[in-house]
Amino acid sequence: MTTLYHAPLTCSLAARFAAAEGDVDLNIAPLNLATKELAAGGSLYDVNPLGQVSVLALPDGTKLTETSTVIAWIQAQSANADFRIDPDSPLYFQMLRWLAFCATELHKGLFRVVFYQEATDEVKERVRGLMPSRFHVLEDQLNGQEFLLGDRFSAADAYLTWFFVLSGHAQVDHASYPNIEAYRQRVLARPAIQALIHSDMQLDQELKQNLFAA
């Protein structure tokens, strides 16, 4: 079975959201991102020299990294026609567009800075100051539709949902964007999403990762 190397509450949770919503079975290999220790023994560096998640190990030994790629692979395995978007669909490249948006403008563009100690408070505030323009893009996209691509939850929504799991910790304010706020409440209320967030909070404590303890 395909294995997802997973640090609780980190971006690999977005991959778990995609797998749950797409009914794709994954073996989960928990790890502590702070120490890079795998729960089963060994180091994350043995899996990915960058010491980062997401990492997906396929049955043939091939590994995929980068959360957007991992999520795209997961959705391609889904037999759920309401979730999977095939390459010949006009929505396929829109899905890739929003996966890339989440990866670059939100994940690496914001979280990579504000959650790392090497960034000064001044730099963090500058990055937070870039977010309104990104939120305007999302607000316009969500106008009149429930999800990023219309009326169905897609792989791109799995990535964006994870953003809202952490956005409060990043101290960014999106409360003044009604479409975004309605979307945030809607996706975080989905049963599979709620269950995974709850289990990840427990796993974070069990592994003593304490992602937001400070």
pTM for the full predicted model:
0.96
Domains identified in the chain, total number: 2
Query: What tens digit of pLDDT does each residue of 101-140 get?
Result: 999 999 999 998 999 888 899 999 999 999 999 999 999 9
Note whether 146 and 73 are same-domain residues: no
State which residues form the domain around 75: 3-82+193-206
Residues 48 and 67 in one domain: yes
N-terminal to C-terminal alpha carbon distance within the chain: 36
In this structure, the answer to whether residues 183 and 200 fall within a common structural domain is: no
Nearest one of 81, 58, 82, 88 to 70, comparing CA atoms: 58
pLDDT of residue 214: 47
pLDDT tens by residue, 171-197: 999 999 999 999 999 999 999 999 999
Find the Cα–Cα–Cα–Cα dihedral 205, 206, 208, 210, rounded to 10°: -20
Q: Where are the alpha helices (DSSP H) in the chain?
A: 12-22, 67-77, 92-101, 112-114, 121-128, 131-141, 155-166, 178-188, 191-206
pLDDT value, residue 213: 63
CATH of the domain at 115: 1.20.1050.10
Residues 106 and 185 placed together within one structural domain of the fold: yes
CATH code: domain of residue 200: 3.40.30.10
Q: Are residues 115 and 183 in the same domain?
A: yes
